[in-house]
Structure 1
């Protein structure tokens, strides 16, 4: 029975309809549980939905804890002791904590737990097949993505050093220069800090043009990896 429960809540086989239904129910519960964050004073209706979704989260947490030996491929008591300290178990626990705030309104400490509702978004990575594929693509493409990241950081630092020395009157601290370089690199341009000299404006134009290329690189890498993963997945299904 425990093995079958593990297959339902964890394996999520494409041919297992019960597992697919379970994942969809959990995804819907996560979405519903996050909606109250959009309200400063959520309607009373959300108190009931929160209680229901939290009950599902608690049940899911207990089931996963009870089948931890299958998850970790180790038949021992220490497996059940270690499981609560794993990343996903911690995320599951933090997803349950916000309900404590509604049961302990007299304690300000527990009211902070309401912000933990945002953590429930990360639970989607476990139940959504598409997000799992995207996470796997990022994992596979981490080397080129890290290369692009360090390229962007290096250019930000160089641009910040140049603008900080050229536009000494416009940038009071080096952090202001880094902030400007980051905003320029992403081509956002908030306009709260900007250069006024000709040399500073030339650096800004170069930074913005370079930013278009840097931002496009990770998008292309992830898109290519995602398309390849989908193609391989369809080939495996057909086989």
Structure 2
């Protein structure tokens, strides 16, 4: 009886391939709850709105935390349905250390911190972690799953691009420091402070609060701005091409797993004909 109930709970929470109506309803309900919590956190920063609706916002927050807590407990309890988490203790600990389980835990854990005896001076800052509930959408949103696949597919290329950006950032901030330190010691006091100028120049933002005045500094700024245009366009091109590739792969996989069957002949509609002469028959 317990095993049967545990399997039903597991199918409700985890097994999306079964496409149960109750499972889909539960997913949509959690998506609605996550998005509503994010909106509520934003509205709590509006003092006039918070003073009028403080009771409703607190009650909604407690209800949401209760749902997320119950969801996490049920996921940990039913995870032993899978063979790799079969052990009642070590299996559950392994599941609790998975990225999605950690995100589920972070989504509600900060709510319980004010009720402990520990004096947290930054408790209000900790409550901002409620925005991390948005990460839970990765479990239910197909678009976020596609983005995760894209990053995983082009991980090496993106890491290489990041290394190039970090190297150029440090190199350019060092050069601008030696070029502008004597002329503007207050604006370029040291290399770490010069990194702010390097960042806004590489990204071609250019706030204008810090800028070079020496001929060498201006030349360096112009070269760096041109390099920044191409450098930051590089990861955008990598991600865009990966999106096209992942979407095409997902379409092929979807056709393979869920083929369209002709109601008359019972054959796969998406499968090409073996012999072109069949068209004449």
TM-score (norm. length: structure 2): 0.76
Tell me which residue corresponds to 2:203.
Answer: 186
Tell me which residue corresponds to 1:36.
Answer: 40
Tell me which residue corresponds to 1:139.
Answer: 152
Q: Higher relative CO (CA 8 A, sep ≥ 6), structure 1 or 2?
A: 1
Contact 2:85–2:92 (8 Å) recurs in 1: no
Shift of the alpha carbon at 1:48? 2.3
Distance 1:98 1:50 in 2: 12
Structure 2: state its 5+ residue gaps.
257-281
For the structure 1 residues 89 and 219, does the alpha-carbon distance in structure 2 shift closer, same or farther, using more than 3 Å as the test?
same
Shift of the alpha carbon at 1:30? 0.9
Distance 1:220 1:17 in 2: 39
Q: Does residue 1:215 correspond to 2:226, yes or no?
A: no
Distance 1:47 1:80 in 2: 32
> Structure 2 residue aligned with 1:205, among 207, 215, 222?
222
For the structure 1 residues 195 and 226, does the alpha-carbon distance in structure 2 shift closer, same or farther, using more than 3 Å as the test?
same
Q: Does residue 1:53 correspond to 2:70, yes or no?
A: no
Contact 1:32–1:49 (8 Å) recurs in 2: no
Give 1 or 2 for the bigger CA radius of gyration: 2
For the structure 1 residues 112 and 184, does the alpha-carbon distance in structure 2 shift closer, same or farther, using more than 3 Å as the test?
closer
The structure carrying a bigger helix percent of its residues is: 1
Q: Does residue 1:73 correspond to 2:84, yes or no?
A: yes
TM-score (norm. length: structure 1): 0.88
Distance 1:34 1:214 in 2: 34
Distance 1:82 1:238 in 2: 34
Distance 1:3 1:50 in 2: 30
Q: Does residue 1:229 correspond to 2:246, yes or no?
A: yes
Q: How does 1:112-127 map to 2 (within 5 A)?
A: 112-127=125-140
Contact 1:14–1:20 (8 Å) recurs in 2: no
Q: Deviations over 1:116-165 (max 9, x none)?
A: 21221221222211101101110110011111111111111221121111
Distance 1:226 1:215 in 2: 17
Which stretches of structure 1, 4 residues or more, deviate above 6 A after TM superposition?
none
For the structure 1 residues 14 and 173, does the alpha-carbon distance in structure 2 shift closer, same or farther, using more than 3 Å as the test?
farther
Shift of the alpha carbon at 1:3? 2.6
> Structure 1 residue aligned with 2:12, among 8, 12, 35?
8
Tell me which residue corresponds to 2:74.
Answer: 63
